[in-house]
Structure 1
Amino acid sequence: MKDIADKFTAIRPDVHVEFLPAATDYIDLAQKMLRAAIASGMPDVTIGGMNTVDMLAERKLIMPLKPLIASEKDWESLGYSPSILSLGSVGGEPYCMPFTIAIKSIYYNLDLVKRAGGDPDNLPKSWDEVIALQRRIQGLGNSVSGLYADYYFDNNFTFQSLIQTQGGAMVASNGHVAFGSKEGLQALKWLRGFGEAGMIDMTAQQSYQAFAGGTIGILVASSSNIIRLQKESGGRFPIKVVAFPRASNGKVPGGGASVMLHAQESDKLKAAWDFAKFVTGPVGSTIMVHQDGYLPGNNLVINDPRYLKSFYEQNPAQRAMVEQLPLLTKWHNWSGENSLKIIDVIRDHMQQVVTLKKAPEETIAKMVSDVEALRKL
């Protein structure tokens, strides 16, 4: 962000960009915004989770972008497709600029795959096949784990991805919870399968360290970790990254962060808007992709030789993730006063299933009823 801000102020010396201390994660940032609104200490801009947009818009803590977009003379030429903007929309209207887009992905340590009798050129096409390969890798012994799926620390992103790639939904068109469907039950069964095949419950950071150290064969995590894991593994073993298995009617929820505007005064709002366009534009997106490995929220940069064309040609793992962009759908946002608590409730139910304390069949009904109760409070 400092690199991006330095380049922005070089062409806009009239605008001063000052960074506040970073939040620990998306939910922490959303809670800071709620407290700042009470204390009249809102920043002009935040880069926060797309899973919090509805909650912040509902409380009128972020500015709608439609009037700002309408003021642009040639908006269509700036590279923001309707599908990308829909990731941060509320009621069909854009409220943020997607910046660091990520999808849930599967990382394979191809050395461990081969040692377990798998074929690196013919990796699993279904979750049942993934679990079968997990068991074989687990059987290698010597402190090798077959698989870790980051389900606990990702704001329900894994759960949503498992459901929506099957063609299911978190909420139905009538507003009621929809994940009590066969897709939701199947998602819990796969999570249970991970646990039964030997998955050790650990923190996300521990799993990244273990995968980079060569002791986890399969890692289910955000695509944003590609560059980090490649660097930390030091080339000691080949890594392949693939998208989740997907049904023909399945969609891929797009997670990650977006630029949100909070400034109220016209001069500050104009400066914030210009900064948001720069951050998510070709220069900002190119810097971000090179340093962090997220997917860009701007279509102009992907195939342009001035920006990311050669990068994606040289990095097939990232290119494979970019090819998922046309399939993206919105990361579901819970609205209402208990929106953040709902995330915790779903997470805790999943942990009961993964750690084999509860069965998927008894958990799914309780999960639905608990969430519905929180939405009615």
Structure 2
Amino acid sequence: MKLNRRRVLMTTAAGALVGAASRAFSQPAAPIRLTVQYAWPKSYDSVMQNIAAQFAAVRPDVHVEFMAPATDYVDLLQRILRAAITGGMPDVAIHGMNNVDRLAERKLITPLRPLIATEKNWSEMGYSPSILSMGDVCGDPFCMPFTIAIKSIYYNLDLVKRAGGDPDKLPNTWGEIIELQRKIQGLGGGVLGLYADYYFDDNFTFQSLIQTQGGTIATPDGRVAFGGKEGLQALQWLQGFGQAGMIDMTVNQAYASFTSGMLGILVASSSRITQLTKDSGGLFPMKVVAFPRSINGTVPGGGGGVMIHAKTGEKLQAAWDFAKFATGPVGSTEVVEKSGYIPGNSVAINDPRYLKSFYDRHPPQRAMVDQMPFLTKWYNWPGDHSLKILTVTRDYIQQVATLKQTPEAVLPKMVSDLEALLKA
């Protein structure tokens, strides 16, 4: 990859941050081979290649070699668990941040606190405690957030206006959103009011509905914590979507409906901003906002985080330097400019050399960044039945959203089934 002048300046500045670390290293006879694996769509391969090329300017003694990408975070997790038995573990991997507990409890990833302690200028490198808490396990960070996404609400402002809504004063509560959904649905002609992708991303929508109310998914000792009012309210909102006309379709069908101008409100990941804006081709004005949030509500952050599998020596140091570079100003700029993800680095956000001017030009992305002070961990259930718990939860949610069961009937059964799986 040829680096243009801006990229050279960016890489040089970031190199100062990564290296300030600026520990001298003697160049070995052969480059250090650093294997990296990730789970991104094919369209993001160029992002990783660009990051690796620019990292080479900072650590020319390290050769980054990408292993075959996984299809998704679950596939990557399964590959890593197999590799732990059969061999072939990468030195670095970009896992779903909801998998950090599984990997840490199996001692397959390296804790970051000892590495952070070696950084004399850590407080200046742009990693806030709230960001690092997203990869926290029992009080210690194990993950550097790389691509952060939150559940968001996309509005087709043309349909909002046609339905009698005010594009400059969008709803502030889920009750108001459902009422607007009904009005858009009533326009007829095949227009749909709302779709929420509750069946996607490991129940991320359900978790977001609970946490933005101020609730939690689990107690500190790992028991189900949403059996009360927050869980019931989340299910009632999902029921409300169904009662107001939400059709149970795939997320790809929903994205196509939205970008063609036939869906008024889409509840989806903020990481879809770039894709949906591009696919809609300016057909209608769009606005993206965060979930309604109570005064004590938090916002779970999904996405991927850089986790280190290397354990000791020069491989560990190279992996740590790559993790800082990929999640630092240069890596964050590469990711954000080509996607709708939120970066995990405040230097990248606020420095004019990196993303400040980008956010000035892209208000929807800036609105997502404003949620960073409220970000919390994407909770993952512990134990051998964690994946089964996700499936059971999702299937119960579908029963409510498709109006086959009521929230009042589903919630106690869901809690009971999950508690049984946690004890099994």
* Number of residue pairs matched by the alignment: 377
Which stretches in structure 2 are left out of the alignment for 5+ residues? 1-47
Q: CA deviation at 1:10?
A: 3.1
- Aligned-partner Cα distance in 1 for 2:306–2:53: 17
Indicate yes or no: 2:356 matched with 1:277.
no
SS in 2 for 1:148: strand
Once the two structures are superposed, residues 224-257 of structure 1 have per-residue CA deviations (whole angstroms, 9 ceiling, x without a partner) of 1111111111111000001101111111111111
Alpha-carbon distance change, 21 to 201 in structure 1, aligned in 2, over 3 angstroms: farther
1:91 aligns with 2:138: yes
Structure 2: distance between partners of 1:141 and 1:148: 16
Q: TM-score, normalised by structure 2?
A: 0.87
Q: Would you say 1:176 and 2:195 are equivalent positions? A: no
Q: TM-score, normalised by structure 1?
A: 0.98
| CA–CA separation in structure 2 for the residues paired with 1:67 and 1:274 | 14
How far 1:174 moved relative to its partner? 4.3
> Cα offset for 1:175?
3.2
Whether 2:260 is the aligned partner of 1:239: answer no
For residues 103-151 of structure 1, the C-alpha deviation after alignment (integer angstroms, 9 at most, x for no partner) is: 1100000011111111101111110111111111111122211111011
Match of 1:288 in 2: 335
Q: How many Å separate the matches in 2 of 1:353 and 1:366?
A: 12
| 2-structure distance, mates of 1:261, 1:206 | 36
Higher relative contact order (CA 8 A, sep 6+): 1
Q: Supply the distance in 1 between the matched residues of 2:404 and 2:76 (Cα, whole angstroms).
A: 32
For the residues of structure 1 that align with 2:189 and 2:311, how far apart are their CA atoms?
59
- Corresponding residue number in structure 2 for 1:161: 208
Task: Tell me, yes or no, if the aligned pair for 1:338 and 1:374 is still in contact at 8 Å.
Answer: yes
Of 12, 16, 32, the residue aligned with 2:59 is 12
Larger radius of gyration: 2
Give the Å deviation of 1:330: 1.1
Out of 97, 105, 122, the position equivalent to 1:75 is: 122
- Structure 2 matches for 1:45-84, cutoff 5 A? 45-84=92-131
The one-letter code sitting in structure 2 at the alignment partner of 1:142 is G
- 2:110 touches 2:307 (CA, 8 Å); kept in 1? yes
Match of 2:310 among 263, 285, 288: 263
The amino acid of 2:151's aligned partner reads K
1:324 aligns to 2:371 (yes or no): yes
Alpha-carbon distance, 1:356 to partner: 1.2
1:303 partnered with 2:356: no
Contact 1:27–1:340, Cα closer than 8 Å, also in 2 = no
Deviations 1:37-67 (A, max 9, x none): 1212211111111111111111111111111
User: Is 1:121 the counterpart of 2:168 in the alignment?
Assistant: yes
- Name which of structure 1's ranges 26-35 and 361-370 shifts more when overlaid on structure 2: 26-35
Q: Sequence identity, in percent?
A: 69
Q: Compute the RMSD of aligned alpha carbons.
A: 1.1
Give the match for residue 249 of structure 1: 296
1:11 deviation in Å?
Answer: 3.0
Task: Kindly provide the CA deviation profile for residues 272-318 of structure 1, in whole angstroms up to 9, marking residues without a partner as x.
Answer: 11110100011000111101121110011112111111111111111
For 1:261, give the aligned amino acid.
I
Moved over 6 A (4+): none
- Identify the match of residue 151 of structure 1 among 198, 222, 229: 198
What's the CA shift string for 1:198-248, capped at 9, x where partnerless? 111122222112211111110001111111111111111000001101111
Aligned to 2:38: none
- Residues in 1 aligned to 2:388 and 2:88: alpha-carbon distance in whole angstroms: 24
Alignment partners' CA distance in 1, 2:192 and 2:257 = 9
Q: Structure 1 stretches of 5 or more lacking a match?
A: none
Match of 2:246 among 172, 183, 199: 199
Q: Check the 8 A contact 1:352/1:358 in 2, yes or no.
A: yes
